[in-house]
Amino acid sequence: MRGFPSARPYSSIWTVLAFVGAAAIYPTAVSAGSESPSVSAGARGVEQAPAGYDKYLIYIADGVYAPSEPYPDSRITGCGPSPFCDGDYFHKEIMGRDDYEIQTLEAEAKEYFRVQFGVDVDDPANAGRLVFRSFMLDPRLNYHVISASGEQVPSEGWRVRDGGWATIFVDPDGFDLGGNSSGQHVPPGTMVVFGDYNIQNVKRHKDEEGGGNSKRGPIVIRYRSIEPQLPTDRSFQCEVLHDEYGSGLVRGRVEVMMNGNERIRINAVSVITFPGFSKLFE
């Protein structure tokens, strides 16, 4: 996979403006979801990217589940009460990585967290102040693509498998960041991530070579936090990278609601654009 550009600081005001801009481009994406995507795969045309962008994808998550219950597939372990499961299944089975590849990417994640956030997860002085872990997003969140430019996404969507590495700050007094985030103090529960979206069930549309309903390989998009995700703010922003689409940004927002009987309802939307900002204003 091609490499990200050098890590760099981002202004939080640009996070707000970028997310508002994305919502303006895709106003119909921000809506409440249902318990599961429709099983009807109605015919849809090929979506076009808006002026100034080469590619976009929109994901939603609309799952309803009880975090206290174990995931029904015993190969996926460690799920609940957080949205994270253990990452072994994601890295080995979904991404097809061997131990060396996993160790190499883990080292890359640690180095990025050090440069971007000034955090050395292996420093003994940080023991008990943070948690560094491999993860897979709980599949019960029902994270799936509902629209993508240049594609015919069926109404049931394309499933998004999401996993990587996370650093979660747990010090009750908070944590002072460094690196490109120097000067920021974050409260406990703040999180930064480094990982991949692996998009499943992608079919070719009729205009593609070998078109019709033939399957193609998954779309894999790497992401990394460019600013900390605060527990008091349900929005997030990450830099993304794809071998064909180049670099871009993902902006999203997550809402969690109680649904009775210890079940929660997820309502989330993520918008990815390549490039991250419109080329019309360069």
pLDDT score, position 59: 97
pLDDT score, position 14: 35
CA–CA gap between residue 120 and residue 176 (Å, rounded): 12
pLDDT score, position 205: 53
* Within a domain: 43: no
* Within a domain: 25: no
Q: Are 101 and 147 in contact (CB under 8 A)?
A: no
Q: Are 155 and 54 in contact (CB under 8 A)?
A: no
* Within a domain: 35: no
* Within a domain: 262: yes
DSSP bridge pairs for 256: 266
Q: Are 198 and 161 in contact (CB under 8 A)?
A: yes
pLDDT score, position 267: 94
Q: What is the sign of the dihedral through the CA atoms of 42, 138, 271 and 23? A: positive
Residue 114 belongs to domain spanning: 54-277
* Within a domain: 85: yes
* Within a domain: 79: yes
pLDDT score, position 201: 78
Q: Are 167 and 121 in contact (CB under 8 A)?
A: yes
CB-based contacts of 249-258 (< 8 A; 24+ apart in sequence): 249/18, 249/273, 249/275, 249/276, 249/277, 250/223, 251/15, 251/18, 251/19, 251/22, 252/59, 253/19, 253/30, 254/61
Which has the closest alpha carbon to 193: 148, 136, 248? 136
Which residues, given as ranges, of the chain have pLDDT below 50? 10-41, 43
* Within a domain: 10: no
CA–CA gap between residue 123 and residue 133 (Å, rounded): 15
* Within a domain: 22: no
Task: Give Cα separations from 154 to 109, 126, 182, 233 (angstroms).
Answer: 34, 46, 44, 32
Q: How many domains does the chain have?
A: 1
Type of residue at 181 = S
pLDDT score, position 98: 98
**pLDDT per residue as tens digits for the range 145-175:** 999 999 989 999 999 999 999 999 999 999 9
Question: pTM, whole model, 2 decimals?
Answer: 0.82
